[in-house]
Amino acid sequence: MWRLLLLLLPLTELPSHAHYTSSDVVYHPLPHFWTGVGFCPAGDINYNGISAALESPSMQLHLRLIGALPIGAITHIRIHWLLELVQFLEYSTEGVPQYDYEKFDRFVDLLQELHLSPVLEFMANPGDVFTANPERNWFLWENFVKSIINHQLARHGATRLSSWRYETWNEPDLLNYNRINFTSASYLEYVQAVRRGLSKAGGRRKSKQLYRALRGPAGLFKSEQRHPLCWELLEVCNQQLAKCPIDILSYHRKGLDGSAQEILNGSLALLTKIYHDYPQLQHLPVANDEADPIAGWDTPRDFQSDVRYAATLIATVMQHWQAKLEGGVLAQLESLSHDNAFLSYHPYEFSQRTLLAHFRMNETNPPHSQFVQKPVYAALGMLAKLGTRAADLEVVNMDSKHSVQVLRSISGNGGAQYMATIFLSPEQAGPQLTAYHHKYTLNMSIANESAFITELLVPHSTDPAHVWQQAGSPAYPNATLREAMRRAQTPRLYETGPIWQYNSELVVNSAHLPLPWLMLLRVCSAAWPKLKRPQQLEIVEVTKSEVFIRWSEQARSSQCLKSYEVWFRERAGSDWQHISQGWHLPYPSFQYAPGGNNSVNGFYKVRGVDVFNERSAFSQIVEYLEL
């Protein structure tokens, strides 16, 4: 373990909104604005179809994996047609629709268990209520929204619902989404009704602190002729901003060629036009709900399999951060979301725009799903380790062709007690070897004894798709191949070696690293909070004699985590076995498939190891019995 002794003057405490200067580097408050994902369920768009898709064992395991990233990596999930889980029952004698929320409640409870908040798109037509009564939609939508929110307030409370996001109908100008035949007039009536429903929900329990902001119009904003609904909503808001039904201007801008720069350019061009034509909207926060490298999630593309997609996502975050700091049209950027939480399918398990490779194992009885984490999943975990304040994005020229983007961040109540820096090579290059090294000075103003840790994503060695391809890309990978893929799915931990060295400056020597690569460097003071014991240990069945194990972690202390250890014993009184020995587990999950005649029945516990090699207390012991 590399170890540093840094004796530096302590830094004065600053309020969270202040700009913080350390060794000539200015740090700004860093909201983690990139923590949303989304998808559209497969199947028929009705109560039965959406229920079948979201309640399937494959989807439930998929969501558990999404929720098993480091705390804060993904906070919100945006699911089209989610409200189709609400079932229409009948009209009351007064003509008010009555709804059953059982399946919607059950799904929301799962999200809460996984520490995920829904982005509630008011986008459904249960029992054809809205198409059957178009003349009453002004009332029906207000009632629908208010009844949903009041029902959830009674179940979860106002504080929980304050973390949810609320949005108007997705891309209402597109025929495949506009399933209730909005006209310009009926669409504006709908948005106003949604706003009223949100505002009236809660009755006397309402407070300014728990005001529910409405996002919209979630549009593509092509030409005014092709997409009139979204543009007309902006016109209404521009005429009288005080009566504008939306609080956050949401839009969709993807790249054209797979690059992060194209995503940013698309946002800059759109917002420049909006602010020119509708100047009253300049004070609204903005959100790009679908900030993806290129349209068409299911179109297979090689770069989406490997580290190139991970690098593109991180470059997207870095470049939007810099644009936000520069104070132009993205100064009011509130959030980015990535539409990459889909279930991939054969033969494109890795190459579709997803966080996980999905293998549908149809030869087992019953059939089941296996998931492998792609490098882009790991990249979101690395971003979660950034601190609460960050510097301007730096671009370091390595040679005439290559540069590295560097984003420094810090946390700490009394100055910098924690530093996390991400280094990113050109995101769409490679895989190819580069031969350069560069001395990069990184002044680390950390008080007390400190330790640091580096993790890398690089082609091939942290590339489970490469492992799969080398094995012939089988549709049903066997247990040996699945384990090999999973051993390549997490960032590579570098504790020693010639790549990164510290001797009053950071030495970057990437002569043996194929492009693209990205690195997370974390420096932790001994004064940083010690690791807390893992919580909410859960073991769920994957298939016979194979389980998925996940747990929850505590936010601040886990920033200095190195890895987790998973322990198992078959029966009370027998010896504990360290079943994750030899695995690097930087994220709170582990898939256990002992093979042979070994059983998964028994007792499990988990603990963390920090960068000082100190161990947390064990989690509670949980018993698992295979049915």
Q: Spot the catalytic one: 121, 142, 171, 334.
A: 171
Residue 593 contacts residue 605 (beta carbons within 8 Å): no
Helices and strands in the chain: count of H runs, count of E runs: 13, 34
Cα separation, 615 vs 532, in Å, equals: 9
Nearest-5° angle of CA 21, CA 26, CA 30? Answer: 110
| Token digits of residue 552 | 């929850």
Cα separation, 407 vs 393, in Å, equals: 5
Q: Judge if the upstream peptide bond of residue 431 is cis by omega within 30 degrees of 0.
A: yes
Query: C-alpha distances in angstroms, 460 versus 237, 310, 381, 422, 429?
Result: 50, 13, 19, 20, 14
According to DSSP, the residues that pair with 568 across neighbouring strands are: 577, 604
| Token digits of residue 142 | 């207000």
Dihedral angle sign, alpha carbons of residues 150, 153, 159, 161: negative
Cα separation, 115 vs 538, in Å, equals: 14
Cβ partners under 8 Å of residue 230, min gap 6: 172, 173, 217, 219, 220, 221
Q: Judge if the upstream peptide bond of residue 366 is cis by omega within 30 degrees of 0.
A: yes
Nearest-5° angle of CA 401, CA 405, CA 408? Answer: 160
According to DSSP, the residues that pair with 408 across neighbouring strands are: 421
Cα separation, 176 vs 516, in Å, equals: 37
Per the annotation, the verdict on 113 as an active-site residue is no
Q: What percent of the chain is helix, strand and coil (3-state, nearest 5)?
A: 30, 25, 45
What is the number of other CB atoms lying within 10 angstroms of the CB of residue 412?
Answer: 22
Q: Spot the catalytic one: 84, 167, 290, 553.
A: 290
Cα separation, 579 vs 603, in Å, equals: 12
The packing angle between helices 57-66 and 102-113, to 10°, is 30
Cα separation, 397 vs 325, in Å, equals: 22
Cα separation, 111 vs 88, in Å, equals: 23
According to DSSP, the residues that pair with 166 across neighbouring strands are: 120, 214
Q: How would you class 155 by CB atoms within 10 Å of its CB: exposed for 0-12, middle for 13-18, buried for 19 or more?
A: middle
Residue 395 contacts residue 403 (beta carbons within 8 Å): yes
Per the annotation, the verdict on 565 as an active-site residue is no
Chain centroid, CA 285 distance in Å: 20
Dump the DSSP string for 121-171: E----GGGHHHH-GGGHHHHHHHHHHHHHHHHHHHH-HHHHTTSEEE--SS
Cα separation, 205 vs 166, in Å, equals: 19
What residues are labeled active site? 171, 290
